[in-house]
A and B are shown apart, each in its own frame.
Chain A
Amino acid sequence: MNIFVLVKRIPDTESKIRINHETGTIVEEGLNFVLNPYDEYAVEEALRLREAGGGKVTVLSVGTEESLAILKKCLAMGADEAFLVKDNTPETYDGLRMAKIIARALEKKFSDYSLLLFGKQSMGTDNAQVPSMVAELLGLPQVNVVTKLEIEGTKGTAHREIEGALEKVSFSLPAVISAQKGLNEPRYETLKGIMMAKKKEIPILSFEDLNLKEEDIVPLLEVAKMESPPPRQAGKIIEEEPDKAAKKMVEFLHNEAKVI
């Protein structure tokens, strides 16, 4: 199976987010960037599918050359090859722009794909748009927010998380799958893997290589403003005997908050 995993570099989840109000962007200085955690599940699933049924795992990212670090990590986890599509545009929050770049890269350079794996969303942008959009642009079936995946030949079934339940979905390859926490437990890189990854070259593709013009990918959304959430005022904190504390808590909920 020829598996492609689409990955993204994000600020780690411990980050405090500061805003540059002049540019309407987040301040990247001082942030620690990592592989999007949901993408780790996607990489792990690809490696497991290859281990079970053979094939090849290729990892692809779109972004600045700083994304090479997360591609190295994927190689160290065990991916066979990695490519970067160079894009220096700051975050646009427009999933369709990203989906067009990915779909074009796949069509032009890697059209023999059998499975496209994504994280269910990139943490930060929190869009959860790109997998479905790539599926549409390439005319493929999609199953998002997947916690269980089984593939037999060219057919697959997946469990997809919905409100308070799971949906069992069947599909044919090639297909788009996006990974949710719970799909697997991602492996750590081994020392051997890290050494191997160091030797591998990561080719960089430009928009010209993909025959992609800037006017094809003009952002369709515009950031008018970026703000911090309104700070929450700390309320009343009590330290009393459990029976009195419980009584006061319920009184607060009933009389002041009026939620019960």
Chain B
Amino acid sequence: MILIFIEVREGKVKKSSLEALSEGKRRADDLNTEANAVLVGHNLESLAHEVLPYAASKVYVVENSLLSHYSAAGFSQALFSLVEDIKPDVILFSASSMGKDLAPRLAAKLGVGLASDCTRTIAKDGKLEVVRPIFAGKAFVTLSFKSSPIMATLRPNVFPLGEPGEKKGEVIRKEVIIPEDQIKAPALEILREKGAEIDVTEAEIVVSGGRGMKGSDNFDLLRDLVSLLPHSAVGASRSAVDADWIDHQHQVGQTGKTVSPNLYIAFGISGAIQHLAGMSSSKFIVAVNKDSEASIFKVADFGVVGDLFQVIPYLKEELKKITSE
């Protein structure tokens, strides 16, 4: 049985967890087994019903009032109790910030190997193998597992979300006992930058700026474009971040985040090897740069040699036309 951890943030089921569930379901079909989901927290039963249409046979809800705030120690303890009880063969997480924090803690508790941030899963000889990028995507390794249960985190925005179907499965509620001193390092509150609702790792479209943006105020041009494009976020190259034009949360590349959106638009980004490593797995890449020799054009599906400050106003007009159609 494949067990998929479903993350709830601020009362909502995270889309990247449903992507992981969809992928888990596909591999479960290959391996002739079932895909089950688990939610951890407090008062989550109604959310559990939102997960059922993604073909989970069972949705476990592991509850305790001490789990109303996230902590890796508390959540891993809760998952550990469930794993001891239902004995899954595979446990999958989204490689979201919570998944990356929680999965290794659970793997250490179970004493098993973990593959991080995988971009492919393969059913081979009745077992699961995974493919994951190393060096921010400059190379890929295929890993097999020598311990059980198999554990992996899956990169957001890579695995197709399944079509929700009928609710065939069941929701099973489990109370866990967690000693209060097991809740180490609880999250007290979430502090949010204004307007930054979608992270670059989760966005379907990333509009990115580099040295060619020339200053922090000019990033407003990119914010304008983002406001015209659905599920989009502003990204940046390292030089723009190091110049303090924009917060490092937006940085794409080997010292920032690795992204795989449907569309990556690079404005004034030359395309240093570290930056290319972080965005080359985007489905489509479009670049605007004054320098026709810029490395970014070697990976771009569509490139415009020109001044971004002249192109962007026309681009806004054209986008408005399309979106109003």
Contact = CB atoms under 8 A, between A and B. Distances in A.
Contacts of B189: 167-168
A114 interface: no
Contact of B134 (A125, A157, A246): A125
A166 B305 contact: no
Nearest to B316: A246
B115 interface: yes
A94 interface: yes
Main secondary structure of the interface of B (DSSP, over half): mixed
B184 A224 contact: no
Interface size class of A (residues with CB under 8 A): 35 or more
B104 A237 contact: no
A223 B27 CA distance: 20
B113 interface: yes
A238 B304 contact: yes
B185 A165 contact: no
Interface in B232-266: 233, 247-249, 251, 254-256, 258, 262-263
B190 A167 contact: yes
B134 A124 contact: yes
Interface string B173-209: 0000000000011111111110011110110110000
A124 B107 contact: no
Interface stretch (B33-41, B42-50, B164-172, B273-281): B273-281
A11 B105 CA distance: 27
Contact of B300 (A160, A165, A222, A234): A234
Contact of A249 (B108, B196, B248, B315): B315
B142 A223 contact: yes
Interface size class of B (residues with CB under 8 A): 35 or more
Interface in A151-175: 157, 159-172, 175
B115 A221 contact: yes
A259 B139 contact: no
Main secondary structure of the interface of A (DSSP, over half): mixed
A34 to B, nearest CB: 12
Contacts of A124: 134-135
Interface stretch (A81-89, A138-146, A198-206): A138-146
B68 interface: no
A255 to B, nearest CB: 10
A51 interface: no
Interface stretch (B51-59, B93-101, B216-224): B93-101
B135 A123 contact: yes
Contacts of A168: 187-191
A17 B319 contact: no
Nearest to B256: A181
Given A162-B98, A259-B284, A235 B139 contact: no
A223 B103 CA distance: 20
Contacts of A232: 280, 285, 298-299
A222 B115 CA distance: 10
A211 B63 CA distance: 40
Given A229-B281, A252-B286, A167 B187 contact: yes
A147 B89 CA distance: 36
Contacts of A225: 141-142
Contact of A246 (B71, B108, B292, B315): B315
A135 B318 CA distance: 52
Nearest to A223: B141
Among B108, B143, B144, B314, which residue has the most Cβ atoms of chain A within 10 A? B108
Contacts of B113: 94, 96, 219-221
Interface stretch (A52-60, A63-71, A126-134): A126-134
Given A125-B134, A144-B100, A145-B97, A170 B263 contact: no
24 contacts: A94-B113, A96-B111, A96-B112, A123-B136, A126-B134, A128-B100, A136-B76, A136-B109, A144-B100, A145-B97, A163-B199, A164-B192, A164-B193, A166-B192, A167-B190, A225-B142, A227-B142, A229-B281, A232-B299, A237-B304, A247-B318, A250-B322, A257-B301, A260-B323
